[in-house]
Structure 1
Amino acid sequence: MTEYETTETLDVKGQNCPMPVVKTKQSIDQLDQGAILEVLATDPGSMSDLSGWADTTDGVELLDQIEGEDVYKHYVRKTE
C-alpha cells in the first residue's frame, strides 16, 4: 500500500453519488498545483465515479484508489 503525502483530506463518508465527485471537484479547485487530496468515501460507486471523473477532467490525476473494509480512499493530484 502506498502512502501519499496529502495536502488535505476530504471526508465524504455517508454521501452518495454524485456528492463525492462534486465535493472532490470543489476541494481540488481550492488547492495549489501539485497538491494531493485524499478523499474518504463509503459509497462503493465512488470507485468508478471518481475514476471516470479524473479521466475526463483536465488538471487532475487519480494516483490511487484503495478499497478498505468500509472506507474507500482516493488520492487525487492537482496537475494544473
Structure 2
Amino acid sequence: MEIAEDIDARGLLCPLPVLRARKRLMALAPGACLRILTDDPMALIDMPHFCAQAGYELLSATDLDTAKPGHAFVIRKPRA
C-alpha cells in the first residue's frame, strides 16, 4: 500500500481532522491512500464513521509510536 498524501492534524480538534481528510480525499485519484495523524480522542469515533458514511475504506487505525500520543488512520478512496 502506497500512501499518496500525509496530513498531520495533531493539535486539531473535532471536526477539523475529518474536514481536512475529506478535502484531501476529494482531490486524490481513485484508489489512492491518505494517512492522517491526529491526537483528538474523538477521531477514534469520527474517522470510522466518516469513512462509512462517505464510502471511503478505512484500511487501518493504529496508535502512534512516538513520544506524543495519537493515532494514524489510513484511508483509501474508492476506485470508482
TM normalised by structure 2 equals 0.88
Q: CA RMSD in A?
A: 1.2
Counterpart of 1:37 in 2: which secondary structure?
strand
Structure-1 separation of matches of 2:12 and 2:62: 18
Give identity over the alignment, percent. 28
Structure 1 segments unaligned to the other structure (5+ residues): none
Aligned to 2:58: 62
Deviations 1:16-71 (A, max 9, x none): 0000100000010010001000001011111110001111112x111110023612
Aligned to 2:21: 24
Structure-1 separation of matches of 2:12 and 2:51: 19
TM normalised by structure 1 equals 0.88
Structure 2 segments unaligned to the other structure (5+ residues): none
Alignment: residue pair count: 76
